[in-house]
Amino acid sequence: MDSLAFSELFPLFNNAQPQTLEWILSITRECTYPPGKIVLTEELWGTAVYFIVSGWVKMERIDEQKAIAIEIIGRGDFYGESAILDEYPRSTSVITLSELNLIVIPAQRFIQILLQDSQLQHRMLQLTLERVRHLKNRLFLNHQSNAVKITETLIFLAEQYGEHTEKGKEIYNLAYQDLADLSSTTPEESQKIVEKLENKGWIEIDRENATLCITNLKQILHLAKHLSA
């Protein structure tokens, strides 16, 4: 991957200096994992930062002996940086949902990069604040109906990570349990609402390839706003 493609794929590096990008690409390594692989356990947080070139991962923690999905991220995003910056112990595992291609930057190298490029520091702060806003929005959704919670979760994933296709924005087709965890609902409620959206033709699910395509994002956005009014 050349430096231009790298900066376009990862928003963190949009304004990085050219020499910073060249140096990053010279020190990274690439990894590929199959679906269902645990790629980061709690004791390994803080050792590197992981940038997703393609694929989807689930972050989950164990609560009362039950695995709960707390975040789903995809192409163009990254994880592991917060454990390097604050060194606070993590109790989260990262599991691949699909085939995953990663670019890995070791912890000390990542810190060096931040210290050398003030534009990168500023961009990191911006993205951190964006993540805080996202968490606040998820807390706000706890007071909304189940339909709003689920549609807003799908909208966020589509806008953040969705791949443009002829039919619409395509994302990974989450298991009902994972969608329920993210939206603070139940698997039964998630299934009911997803099936309603599918029956209306607003989404199309390819179960063989584990994809969900939002074919009418405008209508789903309107529905979410109407339900939350």
pLDDT by residue (tens digit) across 118-151?
888 889 899 989 988 888 888 887 778 888 899 9
Q: Are 180 and 189 in contact (CB under 8 A)?
A: yes
Cα torsion at 74, 133, 14, 35 (round to 10°)? -10
pLDDT for residue 89: 59
Distance CA 116, CA 39 (A): 29
Q: Which domains does the chain have, with CATH numbers?
A: 3-139 (2.60.120.10), 144-228 (1.10.10.10)
pLDDT for residue 145: 85
pLDDT for residue 221: 78
pLDDT for residue 153: 93
Distance CA 81, CA 47 (A): 9
Residues of 49-59 as b/e, b for ≥16 C-beta within 10 angstroms? Answer: bbbbbebbbbb
What parts of the chain have a pLDDT lower than 50? none
Distance CA 71, CA 104 (A): 20
pLDDT for residue 228: 56
pLDDT for residue 41: 86
